[in-house]
Amino acid sequence: MTDAYDGQDGARRQSEMDEQLRAEAAIEPDPPATAPPAKQTQIIAIYGKGGIGKSFTLANLSYMMAQQGKRVLLIGCDPKSDTTSLLFGGRSCPTIIETSSKKKAAGEQVKIGDVCFKRDGVFAMELGGPEVGRGCGGRGIIHGFELLEKLGFHDWGFDYVLLDFLGDVVCGGFGLPIARDMCQKVIVVGSNDLQSLYVANNVCSAVDYFRRMGGNVGVAGMVINKDDGTGEAQAFADAVGIPVLSAIPADEDIRRKSANYEIIGRPGGRWAGLFEALAEQVAEAPPVRPTPLSHDALLGLFKGDAVGRGVVLDPATTEDMCAARVIEKPSLEVIYEGA
- What is the distance between the alpha carbons of residues 289 and 291, in angstroms, rounded to a whole number? 7
Helix H, strand E, coil C: the string for 221-275 is EEEEEEECCCCHHHHHHHHHCCCEEEEEECCHHHHHHHHCCCCCCCCCCCCHHHH
- What is the distance between the alpha carbons of residues 300 and 296, in angstroms, rounded to a whole number? 6
Structural domains of the chain, count: 1
Widest CA span of the chain, in angstroms? 104
- For residue 36, the model assigns a pLDDT of 41
Query: Where does residue 53 fall: left (phi above 0), alpha (psi -120 to 50 degrees), or beta otherwise?
Result: left
- What is the distance between the alpha carbons of residues 188 and 203, in angstroms, rounded to a whole number? 8
Active site (annotated) includes residue 49? yes
Active site (annotated) includes residue 80? yes
pLDDT at 32 over 50: no
Active site (annotated) includes residue 303? no
Tell me whether residue 31 is in a domain: no
Spot the catalytic one: 3, 6, 18, 49. Answer: 49
Tell me whether residue 36 is in a domain: no
Lowest-confidence region among 14-28, 144-158, 166-180, 227-241? 14-28
Tell me whether residue 6 is in a domain: no
Active site (annotated) includes residue 39? no
Range of the domain at 198: 42-299
Please give the model's pTM, rounded to 2 decimal places.
Answer: 0.79
pLDDT digits 0-9 by tens, 234-264: 999 999 999 999 999 999 999 999 999 999 9
Model confidence at 217, pLDDT cuts 50, 70, 90, reads: very high
Spot the catalytic one: 6, 9, 18, 54. Answer: 54
Tell me whether residue 283 is in a domain: yes
CA distances in angstroms from 238 to 44, 221, 234, 337, listed in the order given:
21, 10, 6, 61
Q: What residue type is assigned to position 174 of the chain?
A: F
Spot the catalytic one: 6, 9, 70, 80. Answer: 80
Q: Which residue has the higher pLDDT, 95 or 6?
A: 95
Spot the catalytic one: 78, 164, 168, 208. Answer: 168
Report the SS3 class of residue 284: helix
φ/ψ (deg, to 5) at 111:
-110, 155
Tell me whether residue 311 is in a domain: no
pLDDT at 31 over 50: no
Q: What is the dihedral of CA 302, 307, 311, 314, to 10 degrees?
A: -130
Tell me whether residue 119 is in a domain: yes
Q: Report H helices in the chain.
A: 2-25, 54-67, 96-105, 112-115, 137-150, 176-179, 194-212, 232-240, 252-259, 272-284, 295-299, 304-307, 318-322
pLDDT at 171 over 70: no
Tell me whether residue 26 is in a domain: no
- What is the distance between the alpha carbons of residues 240 and 23, in angstroms, rounded to a whole number? 59
- For residue 23, the model assigns a pLDDT of 65
- For residue 1, the model assigns a pLDDT of 53
CATH classification of the domain holding 140:
3.40.50.300
Tell me whether residue 317 is in a domain: no
